[in-house]
Structure 1
Amino acid sequence: MSVYTRTLVGPFDELMPFLTSSITGQSVSASEEPSADVRTAAGRVAVRAFERFSWTGSNRVGMTVTAVEDGGAVHVVGITVGGSQAVFMKINTFGEEAFLETLVNACAAWESKRGALPQR
């Protein structure tokens, strides 16, 4: 399992479609799976699930992306799962790490246009 967190700035309504299209656009086998959106008094939360085939691992890997609106900031968390061929421990995480890199690249592209808050 690989985890990535980032705090970005900009409109939530523009960021979520940008991240989705960036992630699915970086792999021919990537697809968006079920998603959920929640609105609270404090802001919005979006949860997106993605899946793709890992050529390196010859298996499918999944990634969830959660975004939390916090005023003008959006906290983004990406977590990848699956991809290992072992029964009791992970011996092949190449596919997970490569899939997570699509989120890292998407956040970097957003930051180059919109900026980011200092990371803790």
Structure 2
Amino acid sequence: MAKLEHAFVGDFDRALEVLDAEITGGSASASYEDGSTLAVGDCRIAVRVYERYSLVGSNRVSLSLTLVGHGEQLYLTGITSGGSQAVFFKVNTFGEDAFLDKLRKAIGRL
């Protein structure tokens, strides 16, 4: 499992658009699996789950995103999972790290 957290200023809806485009456009096998968006008062929260095939690890890897917005103050958490073929411990995390790199690239565009 790998995690990336980032606080920034921006537009909530535009941030979601950029994140989705970068993550799904960065790999032929990347797909949007499901998500939810809600508002609680003036706070907005979006949860998204993506999945892709990792050629190096010969397995599937998921990326879960949570974006919280209060006005233009945004906070993003991305957590990857999967990517190992071992039963009791992680052998490789190449696929997880590569998927998280897609998120880093998206953050660079925000």
What is the match of residue 44 of structure 2? 44
Q: How many angstroms does 1:55 deviate by?
A: 0.6
- Identify the structure with the greater strand proportion: 2
Aligned to 1:19: 19
**Shift of the alpha carbon at 1:72?**
1.2
Partners of 2:72 and 2:37 lie apart in 1 by 18
CA deviations over 1:75-119 (Å, ceiling 9, x no partner): 000000001000000011000000011001100121xxxxxxxxx
Alignment partner, residue 55 of structure 1: 55
Q: Does 1:66 align with 2:66?
A: yes
CA distance in 2, matches of 1:90, 1:20: 28
Long gaps (5+) in structure 2: none
User: Which consecutive segments of 4 or more residues in structure 1 shift more than 4 A?
Assistant: none
Letter in 2 for 1:70: H
Structure 1 unaligned spans of 5+: 111-120
Report the CA distance between 1:10 and its aligned residue. Answer: 1.2
Computed over aligned residues only, the root mean square deviation of the Cα atoms, in angstroms, reads: 0.8
1:98 aligns with 2:101: no
- How many residues align? The count is 110
Percent identity for Structure 1 against Structure 2: 45
1:76 matches 2:76 = yes
TM-score normalised per structure 1: 0.89
- CA separation in 2, counterparts of 1:18 and 1:106? 7
| Superposition TM-score, scaled by structure 2 size | 0.97
Counterpart residue identity of residue 4, structure 1: L
- In 1, Cα distance between equivalents of 2:101 and 2:70: 24
